[in-house]
Amino acid sequence: MTDLRVLRPSETPDELSSLRTLTARGVAADHNEPFGDQTWVELTSGSAWLITTGASEFTGASAVVIPTDETQPVLVELVVEPDARGAGLGRALVDATKTLITQEASKDQVVTAWSHGDHPAARGLAARVGLEPVRILYRMAVDIDRESFGDVNVPAGYTIRTFEPGSDDAAWLELNATAFADHPEQGQLTQKDLDARKAEDWFDPAGFFIAEDSTGTPVGFHWTKTPVGSHAGEVYAVGVHPKTQGTGLGKALTIHGMNHLASSGLEKIVLYVDDENRPAVNLYNSLGFGVENTDVMFSSTS
């Protein structure tokens, strides 16, 4: 029988070293990060539950974010040591997660879970607890086989500069919330979330670009990301104010950031985009990106 530990949010920050070791083994086998950036933020800040196997070395773990705001969904992400798969460990973690959510979440709170890579085993576990696929996220990629991805044709009246940590924080958060008003994760970022990302070893303001209008007001951005030791850079987030849509500013920002990554000695560029966001998918296709992976979100409501 598998022995599991259920760690309260206040206890999870002390377990992150073991968790990162486990997730690194998962990434090596799956070529996918099992936990999203926001999940790490919640774990690090002591805002997420953690269900684990083992005391000092984990063979499996489930991260469970239960917002105190009952209108916000519960988020579940799970990883199992590659060599320990197929023995019922994933099922045990899912059952323990279900019990935890029943005890700690509101009875009307929606439950969501991500399968990074759309593994058949994950689909089976989701179905076991009554979760259905509701969202598809593409990971698209393009090889860096050139010095530039094209000229940056910035529309008249706009300029692009680099982000200034601290002084740009408030204006960027407001712009991000406006640009992603309908996005379930990106548009909800807070100062705490931004601070957590700025504290990560991959954060580099030299790869974070802000577009301003003639009054000096931020109206667009392209935040690139290059994890330490990775051969791939990421189009982490591109957003523009609704009033600039149709001007070509979004494409200009995208190419500007891609050219920055192309000059950084990397092998490829990746990005994540919802399959329903056809204008963005079409833009990225036109820039040479192709789908290399699919993430699926499951939910307790369809």
Phi, psi of 212 (to 5 degrees): -120, 150
Phi, psi of 34 (to 5 degrees): -75, -25
245 is in an annotated binding site: yes
188 is in an annotated binding site: no
12 is in an annotated binding site: no
192 is in an annotated binding site: no
Secondary structure (3-state) at 152: coil
249 is in an annotated binding site: yes
Query: Tens place of pLDDT for every residue, the chain, 302 residues?
Result: 468 999 999 999 999 999 999 999 999 998 889 999 999 999 999 999 999 997 778 999 999 999 999 989 999 999 999 999 989 999 999 999 999 999 999 998 999 999 998 888 888 888 888 899 999 999 999 999 999 999 999 999 999 999 999 999 999 999 999 999 887 778 789 999 999 999 999 999 999 999 999 999 999 999 999 998 899 999 999 999 999 989 999 999 999 999 999 999 999 999 999 999 998 999 999 999 999 999 999 999 75
105 is in an annotated binding site: no
* 24 DSSP 8-state letter: H
272 is in an annotated binding site: yes
Amino acid (1-letter code) at residue 297? M
280 is in an annotated binding site: yes
85 is in an annotated binding site: no
Classify residue 285 as left (phi > 0), alpha (psi -120 to 50) or beta.
alpha
71 is in an annotated binding site: no
Per-residue pLDDT, 1: 44
Phi, psi of 279 (to 5 degrees): -60, -40
248 is in an annotated binding site: yes
What is the side-by-side order of every strand in the sheet holding 232-240?
Answer: 4-7, 49-53, 60-65, 74-80, 111-116, 290-299, 132-143, 268-274, 232-240, 218-225, 208-212, 159-162
205 is in an annotated binding site: no
CA distance 271 to 274: 10
Packing angle of the helix pair 16-30, 37-44 (nearest 10 deg): 170
291 is in an annotated binding site: no
236 is in an annotated binding site: no
pTM, entire model: 0.83
| Domains detected in the chain | 4-130 (3.40.630.30), 141-293 (3.40.630.30)
Per-residue pLDDT, 198: 96
For the record, the structure tokens of 274 come out as 């919802």
Count of CB atoms situated within 10 Å of the CB of 116: 24
CA distance 145 to 11: 46
246 is in an annotated binding site: yes
CA distance 254 to 263: 15
Per-residue pLDDT, 2: 66
225 is in an annotated binding site: yes
161 is in an annotated binding site: no
238 is in an annotated binding site: yes
